[in-house]
Amino acid sequence: MKAIVNVDTNWAIGNGDSLLNRIPADMRFFKEKTTGNVVVMGRKTFMTFPGPKALPDRVNIVLTKDENWSAPDVITCHSIDELFVQLERYDTNTVYVIGGSAVYELLLPYCDTAYVTKVDSAKPADKFFPNLETAQDWVLAVEDEELEHNGVKFKFTTYKRI
């Protein structure tokens, strides 16, 4: 299982319901990585999608404790145990945890890879990803060259579990 996330210099990922940064190259990277695969997300992240509608060409799995909640083209799971039963149907290498904060926290212990797009900015935020720089069990494996969008610097990195 892999995590894919966009963080700022404080490892912040969101403020309320909103993403902090929308960078087209990062959106393309996300689409390339996840298309044809399985995406696992929290109900709050799903609700931020346009529509809100499932992401096309992907198996969408949404975690919620609400037994009455449903959405078209979405598999709902009500606990981590239910999620792992669902995931038995898929190759673990095709499963991407896509947020948000609560679901990253819940599933990062089961991930072996994290694709982290680092944005060189710090905005007001109240949602965070665990800081993998200070984590004992994660190492920076790949760091691409710095890119820029509208004056904002960013880079693609990959962390691996040791």
Ligand X SMILES: NC(=O)c1ccc[n+]([C@@H]2O[C@H](COP(=O)([O-])OP(=O)(O)OC[C@H]3O[C@@H](n4cnc5c(N)ncnc54)[C@H](OP(=O)(O)O)[C@@H]3O)[C@@H](O)[C@H]2O)c1
Contact 125, 100 (CB under 8 A): no
Single residue of 38, 39, 103, 132 touching ligand X by CB under 6 A: 103
On the CB side of 39, how many CA atoms lie within 13 Å of its CA?
A: 25
Q: How far apart are CA 64 and CA 42, in angstroms?
A: 7
Interaction of residue 113 with ligand X, rule CB under 6 A: no
Structure tokens at 60: 């969408």
Minimum distance of ligand X from residue 120's CB (angstroms): 15
In whole angstroms, give the CA distance from residue 147 to residue 144: 9
Alpha-carbon span 48 to 41, nearest angstrom: 11
User: Which runs of consecutive H residues, i.e. helices, occur in the chain?
Assistant: 24-34, 43-47, 80-87, 101-107
Q: Which one of residues 10, 37, 48, 86 is an interface residue with ligand X (CB under 6 A)?
A: 48
Q: Does 63 bind ligand X (CB under 6 A)?
A: yes
**Tokens, residue 115:** 């694709």
Binding test (CB under 6 A) with ligand X, winner from 34, 60, 101, 113: 101
CB nearer to ligand X: give 45 or 59: 45
Question: For ligand X, what does the binding mask look like between residues 115 and 134, x meaning CB under 6 A?
Answer: ------------x-------
Given its phi and psi angles, is residue 151 left (phi above 0), alpha (psi -120 to 50 degrees) or beta?
left
Stretch that binds ligand X, among 78-86, 107-115, 134-142, 146-154 (CB under 6 A): 78-86
Among 23, 40, 43, 59, binds ligand X (CB under 6 A): 43
Q: What minimum distance in Å lies between the beta carbon of 159 and ligand X?
A: 14
In the complex with ligand X, the residue whose CB is nearer, 34 or 59, is 34
Summarize as ranges the residues that interact with ligand X (CB under 6 A): 5-6, 13-14, 17-19, 41-45, 48, 63-66, 69, 78-80, 98-103, 106, 127
